Amino acid sequence: MRRIFTASDRVREHARLESSLAIYLPLTVKLFVYHTPEATPTEQLPDCAVVIDVLRATTTIATAFAEGAEAVQAFSDLDQLLAVSEQWPATQRLRAGERGGKQVEGFELGNSPLACTRDRVAGKRLFLSTTNGTRALQRVIDAPVVLTAAQVNRQAVVDYLQAEQPETVWLVGSGWQGTYSLEDTVCAGAIASPLLEQQQLTLGNDEVLGAIALYQQWQTDLFKLFCQASHGERLLRLNLKDDIDYCAQTDVLNVLPWQAERGVLKAK
């Protein structure tokens, strides 16, 4: 049987090697960036998967937790969402659904982070389905640790990776229906960049350097980048400029959404 090495096992092993060989070996995270769920390998899993959908699912998830939501339960299929949410007390649930950028008819919420106000979401479970973000979550649902990241809670994710040092980490962008999304990759770069600077990173694939370069180029004007991105343009056509503006903020929410049970995210 394959032995699972925890972070503390690795720290102990590191200390043992350091004293026996009298050398300094920095602990590093082996990091991979996958631009879309479709590009994400299916035959193996990392120690930690971080799902990114900056416009807008993972920004909405971080905001819901910052405003006191009890949990976010994610579904790729709307019928399944309706069936499962039906079992939950009506006063403690909110159905949040988006397709093509628009709110699903009959649902209380769409996928706007700005709609996740405290008075609406505190104490409630959000049953959420979106075009791409919840599909990306589905892709890595069996990883031992699953987190969600957006620009708004980027630092909380970096802090977790630096403290826990998972051996392999995948940053999984949600993209748009199988194609690459600039905003997810720039956020992957924003997470990878401090790890590289502090020599805590081993490159798993070339996409990591591409993501870091994109972030370094655009970090001071993410709003402009998001407005030029194809999904940003789609949201602008739907008059959702304020949503883009909100999603372009960096490190404003200190929340770490993680998968507490299969398909159910809670705040750590």
- Which range binds ligand 3SL by CB under 6 A, 16-24, 50-58, 71-79, 161-169? 50-58
Q: Are strands 93-99 and 102-103 parallel, antiparallel or unpaired?
A: antiparallel
Residues binding ligand 3SL: what is the number (CB under 6 A)?
13
Q: Which is nearer to ligand 3SL, 132 or 259 (CB)?
A: 132
Q: Which of 47, 49, 53, 193 binds ligand 3SL (CB under 6 A)?
A: 53
CA dihedral 237, 242, 247, 251 (to 10 degrees): 160
Q: Which is nearer to ligand 3SL, 166 or 173 (CB)?
A: 173
As measured in angstroms, the least distance from the Cβ of 235 to ligand 3SL is: 6
Q: Which two tokens stand for residue 246?
A: 């909100």
141 class by beta-carbon count within 10 Å (0-12 exposed, 13-18 middle, 19+ buried): middle
Q: Does 193 bind ligand 3SL (CB under 6 A)?
A: no
Which sign, positive or negative, has the C-alpha torsion 227, 231, 234, 236? negative
Q: Are strands 71-74 and 125-129 parallel, antiparallel or unpaired?
A: parallel
Find tokens 């991105």 and name the residue.
Answer: 229
Give yes or no for a contact between 228 and 218, defined as CB atoms under 8 angstroms apart: no
Within 109-168, the residues that bind ligand 3SL by CB under 6 A are 111, 130-133
Q: Does 98 bind ligand 3SL (CB under 6 A)?
A: yes
Q: Which of 101, 113, 166, 232 binds ligand 3SL (CB under 6 A)?
A: 101
Q: Which of 35, 56, 95, 139 binds ligand 3SL (CB under 6 A)?
A: 56
- DSSP symbol at 129: E
Q: Does 57 bind ligand 3SL (CB under 6 A)?
A: yes
- List residues binding ligand 3SL (CB under 6 A): 53, 55-57, 98, 101, 111, 130-133, 174, 235
